[in-house]
Amino acid sequence: MTVLWRHLLSGDSSAEPQEAPQSGVYVPGYFETRLAPSASRSKVWKHLCTYFTRWIATDADVLELGAGWCDFANHVRCGRVVAMDLDATVKNSAATHVEAVVGDCTDLRRFRGATFDVVFASNLLEHLERGDASRLLAEARRVLRPGGRLILMQPNFRLQPGHYFDDFTHVAIYTDKSLPDYLEAEGWTIEAVHARFLPLTLKTRGSGLTFLVPWYLRSPVKPLAGQMLVIASR
């Protein structure tokens, strides 16, 4: 799910794409409790997508998995962007230039191999059991072109263990040590790890101070950090 600052936040590439099942919805009430609308969300994501330009070319083909409100997909600067989520919210939230897809992010058969330059996911893997996470990573590798990048924003359990399971749908634990190791075991090459990237949540009295986001991203001191950023290549 695209949850910024937590809630504000190998197949044959020549084969014809297959239509994946359009099934399922989130746990009832999840969007109302953990992913409630926020006026600050769009402003924060604009800053973040500016920051991500160092890894995403302006002509890149980008796939966002677990897109939710499409905050990343709507603001990323690229050639083509596809936003995919299990919940139909993605259809209602996508900007006109975004291709919205309702479907299971562990099953990307609808896309040909070597189709995208970047696969992005925010706060997604911790919601998946290990088998599902491995399927997602394998599918991401398949749909990426050679040298393509996987960009993951995740809660870092090592930094905020006491609040990690405040989200009742979390089922897996990742840290800035375990996630890169897991990715390497799944065949990825790690490019960068930012153990302290963002606060765990913006559900605080300072949540409206979105103009401070660029400073926070540049600063070596990251108060309240709870999210990490991991960049890997195919």
pLDDT at 201 over 90: no
Instruction: Flag whether 205 is in a domain.
Output: yes
Distance of CA 130 to the CA centre of its chain: 17
Instruction: Flag whether 26 is in a domain.
Output: no
| Cα–Cα nearest to 46, from 72, 84, 67, 8 | 72
Instruction: Flag whether 196 is in a domain.
Output: yes
pLDDT tens digit sequence for 11-65:
333 344 444 433 334 455 555 555 555 667 888 999 999 999 999 999 999 999 9
Q: What is the mean pLDDT of residues 123-134?
A: 95
Instruction: Flag whether 107 is in a domain.
Output: yes
Instruction: Flag whether 179 is in a domain.
Output: yes
CA angle 160, 84, 200 (to 5 degrees): 15
pLDDT at 217 over 80: yes
Number of domains in the chain: 1
Instruction: Flag whether 21 is in a domain.
Output: no
Buried b (16+ CB within 10 A) or exposed e, 180-202: bebbeebebeeeebbbbbbbbbb
Which pLDDT score is estimated for 186? 97
pLDDT at 196 over 90: yes
Instruction: Flag whether 17 is in a domain.
Output: no
Which pLDDT score is estimated for 6? 39
Q: What is the CATH number of the domain that holds 79?
A: 3.40.50.150
Which residues constitute the domain of residue 153? 39-233
Instruction: Flag whether 20 is in a domain.
Output: no
